Structure 1
Amino acid sequence: MSSSALLVMDVQNAVVHRYPDPDYLPRLGAAIATARAAGVPVIFAGVGFRPGFPEVSPRNRMFGAMAGRATGGDDRAMAFHADAAPAEGDPIVIKRRVSAFAGSDLDMLLRVQGIDHLVLTGIATSGVVLSTLRQAADLDFRLTVLSDGCLDADPEVHRVLTEKIFPAQADVLTVAAWEPKVSNG
Structure 2
Amino acid sequence: MQIKVEKTALVLIDLQNGILSRNCAPYTAEEIIGRAKALVKAFTEKGGFVVLVRVSTLDGKDMLHPSTDVPATQSIELPEGWDQIVPELAEIPGTYTLTKRQWGAFHGTDLDVQLRRRGIDTIVLGGVSTGIGVDMTAREAFQLGYNQFFAEDVMGAADKEMHDYVRTNIFPRIGRVRSSDDIISYL
Shared topology, TM-score over 0.5? yes
Normalised by the length of structure 1, the TM-score is 0.85
Is 1:23 matched with 2:23? no
- 1:150 is matched with which residue: 151, 155, 158? 155
Q: Out of 161, 167, 176, which is 2:166 matched to?
A: 161
State the match for 1:97 in structure 2.
Answer: 102
Structure 2 gap ranges (5+): none
Aligned to 1:130: 135
Deviation at 1:109, TM superposition (A): 1.1
- Shift of residue 63, structure 1, vs aligned partner: 4.8
Question: What runs of 5+ residues in structure 1 fail to find an aligned partner?
Answer: none
Map Cα deviations across residues 6-57 of structure 1 (whole Å, 9 max, x no partner): 001100100000135132211221111121222221111111112x222135
SS in 1 for 2:163: helix
User: Please, which of 60, 65, 76 is the counterpart of residue 74 of structure 2?
Assistant: 65
Q: Which residue in the other structure is 2:15 paired with?
A: 11
Amino-acid identity (%): 25
| Mapped partners of 1:28, 1:154: distance in 2 | 20
Instruction: Give the TM-score taking structure 2 as reference length.
Output: 0.84
| RMSD (Å) for aligned C-alpha atoms | 2.3
Determine the C-alpha separation between the residues in 2 that align with 1:105 and 1:4: 17
CA distance in 2, matches of 1:87, 1:37: 11
Deviations 1:61-110 (A, max 9, x none): 565624xx8x9x54511110112225334211111100011221111111
Aligned counterpart, 1:56? 63
**Structure 1's 130 and 176: CA in aligned 2 closer, same or farther, altered over 3 A?**
same
Q: Is the 8 A contact 1:86 1:92 kept in 2?
A: no
8 Å contact kept, 2:125–2:134:
yes
Residues 63, 102 of structure 1: CA spacing in aligned structure 2 closer, same or farther, 3 A cutoff? farther
Task: Quote the residue 1:41 is aligned against.
Answer: 49
Task: Tell me if structure 1 keeps the 8 A contact 2:125–2:149.
Answer: yes
Aligned residues: 177
Write the distance in 2 (CA, Å) between the matches of 1:43 and 1:128.
Answer: 14
